[in-house]
Amino acid sequence: MQAMDIAKLSYRDVARTIDHALLRPELTPAEAAAGVALGRRYDVAAVCVRPCDVALARDELAGSSTEICTVVGFPHGSSTTATKVAESEQAIAEGAGELDVVLNVGWLRAGLVDAVRDELAEVVRAARQAHAIVKVILETAYLDDDQKRAGCLAAEAAGAHFVKTSTGYPATATVEDVRILREAASPALQVEAAGGIRTLDALLALASAGASRFGTSATVAILDDLTSRLRAVEEQAATI
């Protein structure tokens, strides 16, 4: 994405990078369904729902190009490997096409990188047959830079498709963290930024640093701002 040049963007360029987050614990089924419908209306890449809402999202998104994402090991990453695999298998069976897996942060901080990699590989193996995408949440707020790089490499070695900065609960995504992950990863591994992305400008700055997906609950504010700016560009061009 040409992150800073609005004139070179289309609405779809940005909308299809957004995972609309619907993970708040107090959401009722009706509120979750309304959030999923909003994601469909705004044509985002995915709605990221709680595991209990996957079937609901499947029904709401029937015939849509918006994908269903759900979380595994959320929010702390300290579930057992068997639990994470079972969560993944159930989510896929109910219709999820993307899994946001929280790695075991304590293991990573302890230097148990092989254990982290092996656990993630089990989840990837469960997802592979259904062609589901696996995105590994690192929780960068708890890691030093070397640990961030190690987590990124472990996720890639396990066969993950993305590394993701955060669940959004301990901290916000930072440009520096995205740069570190982008530099550590091969071009085959994508970077998702999540946490505290409330504005279009914040999203574009993270895109410039190397993120290609963005987890946010501020979808309406971001995409309505984009629509307004694109309209202004068109109006200006029409006067030239």
Which of 150, 176, 181 is CA-nearest to residue 163?
A: 181
Backbone region of residue 195 per phi and psi (left: phi > 0; alpha: psi in -120 to 50; beta: other values)? left
> Are 84 and 99 in contact, with CB atoms under 8 Å apart?
no
Both tokens assigned to 3? 């992150």
Q: At 48, which amino acid appears? A: C
Q: Domains for the chain: give ranges and CATH numbers.
A: 13-238 (3.20.20.70)
Sign of CA dihedral 98, 102, 108, 113: negative
Residue numbers of the chain with a pLDDT score lower than 50: 1-3
What tens digit of pLDDT does each residue of 106-141 get?
999 999 999 999 999 999 999 998 999 999 999 999
Which of 18, 19, 124 is CA-nearest to residue 72?
A: 124
> Are 133 and 97 in contact, with CB atoms under 8 Å apart?
yes
Q: What is the pLDDT of residue 4?
A: 56
Q: What is the pLDDT of residue 33?
A: 98
Q: Strand 98-102 vs strand 67-72: parallel, antiparallel, or unpaired? A: parallel
Q: Residues with Cβ < 8 Å from 225, sequence gap 6 or more?
A: 199, 200
Q: What is the pLDDT of residue 6?
A: 80
**Burial class (CB within 10 angstroms; exposed 0-12, middle 13-18, buried 19+) of 67:** buried
For 190, phi then psi, to 5°, come to: -90, 160
